[in-house]
Amino acid sequence: MSRTSIAAIRCSLLDGVDLDARSALACAQVPMVTDGDRDFRQGCEGGPDDRVDRMTRLGPDVLAGAFVSALAVAMGALVVFDRSIADELSVPRSVWAALFAAFLLAQTAGMWWEDRLPDRPVRACFGSQVVLAPILVLTAPTAGWLPILLVFTSTFAVYRVSASAVAVIVAIYTCCVGVSVAIRGGRISEIVLIASIYGALQVASALSVTAQLRQSRLRRELAAAHAELRTASALLDDSSRADERLRIARELHDVLGHQLTALSLELEVASHQVAEPAREHVVRARTIARDLLADVRATVGEVRSRTPVLGESLDRLVAQLPQPVVHLTVDPEMRVDEARGLAVVRCVQEMITNTIRHANADEMWIEVTSDPTGALSVSVRDDGRVSPDFEPGHGLKGIRERIEGLGGTVTFSVQRGFAVHATVPAP
């Protein structure tokens, strides 16, 4: 075996090329890590400046919310400005208009600003909406379509309270519709019919939203499980590569190293038993054998101490995630020791899982850098919703414990989405 062959094997091992065919095929299927912000699902450049606020996107939720708000405003304006209806109000028109304005403000805050307000004000807005809706309906009994506000409110209740509380709200609102019809002099049959119609509308809307929320929850759980599976796969792949390298290193040391050692000894003996000019060739062959043995030992040592490429592990973790879109920035050649690499991968995995389950984010940015001293800096942030008074859960506490166990620090931020910044010093 020539020195060129030894060098070739050495380069292959150090470049992470597995000689096993299945491992090589798996490596070929791994996307490359880019050195900039990139959408791994769409292959397009992106970054913080390209973020479009979710409230400006014309998705189904935004269109439905805009329709509900516009319809509520139209019905309120009809009651205030239609003299035939305004004259039948049981309270002064200005009072009713003020109550309606308060209802509209509570509805708007609860529906459009939920992501930007703390939980307590949002609950207060919802409670105000629940109380004001029947008051508006009962004080304007001749406004035929005004009870639709009750349908809107009971539908919003699905997002905020339990199913039993929603059932109570629906029952009370259905009775309010019946009372409203009775106030304007409706017959028993009319009361039952109209109350049943609005009761059915509330039940249908509540069930529809419940099914939608359940489907969304299942999708988030599936995405979180997918992220955890990708993490396990990435770590298992790194472990398999390391085991394969160690196996090859043992084979090189035990077989090739032993044979080269025996060859060197034989040539040493032969160099003392042959005469010139053959002795010169034997000495040269002995020198080559010793050099090859030194190369084999150096290769075995480097293969055993070789650390995996961090970028490959992170790339396999974020690739093919359905949501959110992940922009990964990492040095493709960055190598770290096993303990710090595992901590970084687990930190990123927990953040992805946390974002999928709780933040409802559209985009996520992950950046891993190292300074000249070898210290690592990990920054992960998303554009999802987060409560200003949030408290770290078990997963985030686990991130802090893992990083601090390596002598690092972790900070959390809730400005413009949720962000985590971790630093891990060099070993």
Enumerate the H helices of 29-142 as residue ranges.
Answer: 60-81, 83-86, 93-112, 119-139
User: Does residue 207 form part of some domain?
Assistant: yes
**In the structure, what pLDDT confidence band is assigned to residue 109 with cuts at 50, 70 and 90?**
confident
Read off the pLDDT of residues 211-246 as tens digits, 9 standing for 90 and up: 888 887 787 777 777 766 766 666 666 666 666 766
Whether residues 46 and 67 fall in one domain: no
Interstrand relation of 409-413 and 419-424 (parallel, antiparallel or unpaired): antiparallel
Percent of the chain with pLDDT over 70: 71
**Domain housing 159:** 55-220
Looking at residue 180, its pLDDT comes to 87
Q: By the 8 A CB rule, do 372 and 405 touch?
A: no
Q: What's the average model confidence in pLDDT over 165-192? A: 89
Whether residues 172 and 46 fall in one domain: no
**In the structure, what pLDDT confidence band is assigned to residue 148 with cuts at 50, 70 and 90?**
confident
Q: Max Cα separation, the chain?
A: 131
Q: By the 8 A CB rule, do 318 and 352 touch?
A: yes
User: Does residue 392 form part of some domain?
Assistant: yes
Q: 38 in helix, strand or coil?
A: strand
- Which range has highest mean pLDDT (144-158, 309-323, 336-350)? 144-158
Three-state secondary structure along 225-293?
A: HHHHHHHHHHHHHHHHHHHHHHHHHHHHHHHHHHHHHHHHHHHHHHHCCCCCCHHHHHHHHHHHHHHHH
d(CA 407, CA 118): 34
Query: Dihedral of the CA atoms 75, 81, 85, 87 (nearest 10)?
Result: 150
Whether residues 46 and 95 fall in one domain: no
Q: 381 in helix, strand or coil?
A: strand
Which range (142-151, 184-193, 279-288) has the least confidence? Answer: 279-288
User: Does residue 282 form part of some domain?
Assistant: no
Whether residues 197 and 337 fall in one domain: no
Whether residues 62 and 208 fall in one domain: yes
Whether residues 62 and 35 fall in one domain: no
Whether residues 107 and 163 fall in one domain: yes
Which residues are CB-contacts of 212 (< 8 A; sequence separation ≥ 6)? none
Q: Which one-letter amino acid corresponds to residue 70?
A: A
pLDDT for residue 18 is more than 60: no
Q: Which one-letter amino acid corresponds to residue 286?
A: R
User: Does residue 283 form part of some domain?
Assistant: no
Considering only CA atoms, which of 227, 185, 245 is closest in space to residue 352?
227
Q: What's the average model confidence in pLDDT over 402-424? A: 85
Mean pLDDT across the chain, nearest whole number? 73
Looking at residue 175, its pLDDT comes to 92
Which residues are CB-contacts of 90 (< 8 A; sequence separation ≥ 6)? 138, 139, 140, 141, 183
DSSP 8-state class, residue 326 = E
User: Does residue 202 form part of some domain?
Assistant: yes
> What does residue 426 show for φ and ψ, rounded to 5 degrees?
-65, 150
Question: 163-183 and 148-160 are packed helices; what angle lies between their axes, rounded to 10 degrees?
Answer: 170
User: Does residue 173 form part of some domain?
Assistant: yes
End-to-end CA distance of the chain: 38
Whether residues 189 and 176 fall in one domain: yes
User: Does residue 8 form part of some domain?
Assistant: no
Read off the pLDDT of residues 22-81 as tens digits, 9 standing for 90 and up: 333 333 333 333 333 333 333 333 333 333 344 344 456 667 667 777 877 877 777 777
Last residue of a domain, one of 220, 235, 252: 220
Read off the pLDDT of residues 234-283 as tens digits, 9 standing for 90 and up: 666 666 666 676 677 676 666 666 677 777 777 777 777 777 777 777 77
Last residue of a domain, one of 200, 220, 240: 220
**In the structure, what pLDDT confidence band is assigned to residue 170 with cuts at 50, 70 and 90?**
very high
Q: Which one-letter amino acid corresponds to residue 169?
A: I
- Which range has highest mean pLDDT (12-21, 122-131, 248-257, 267-276)? 122-131
Per-residue b or e along 120-130, where b marks 16 or more CB atoms closer than 10 Å to that residue's CB: eebeebbebbb
d(CA 72, CA 148): 8
Enumerate the H helices of 306-406 as residue ranges.
Answer: 310-318, 338-354, 394-405
d(CA 299, CA 210): 61
Looking at residue 34, its pLDDT comes to 36
If one counts the domains in the chain, the total is 2
Whether residues 128 and 38 fall in one domain: no
- Angle CA(111)–CA(116)–CA(118) in degrees, nearest 5? 95
- Angle CA(129)–CA(130)–CA(133) in degrees, nearest 5? 75
Residue carrying the six token digits 């996307």: 31
Whether residues 50 and 179 fall in one domain: no
Last residue of a domain, one of 181, 196, 220: 220
Looking at residue 168, its pLDDT comes to 93
Which range (286-290, 368-372, 404-408) has the least confidence? Answer: 286-290
Q: What's the average model confidence in pLDDT over 134-156? A: 84
Whether residues 41 and 132 fall in one domain: no
User: Does residue 105 form part of some domain?
Assistant: yes
**In the structure, what pLDDT confidence band is assigned to residue 116 with cuts at 50, 70 and 90?**
low
> What does residue 367 show for φ and ψ, rounded to 5 degrees?
-135, 125
Whether residues 206 and 78 fall in one domain: yes
d(CA 322, CA 41): 8
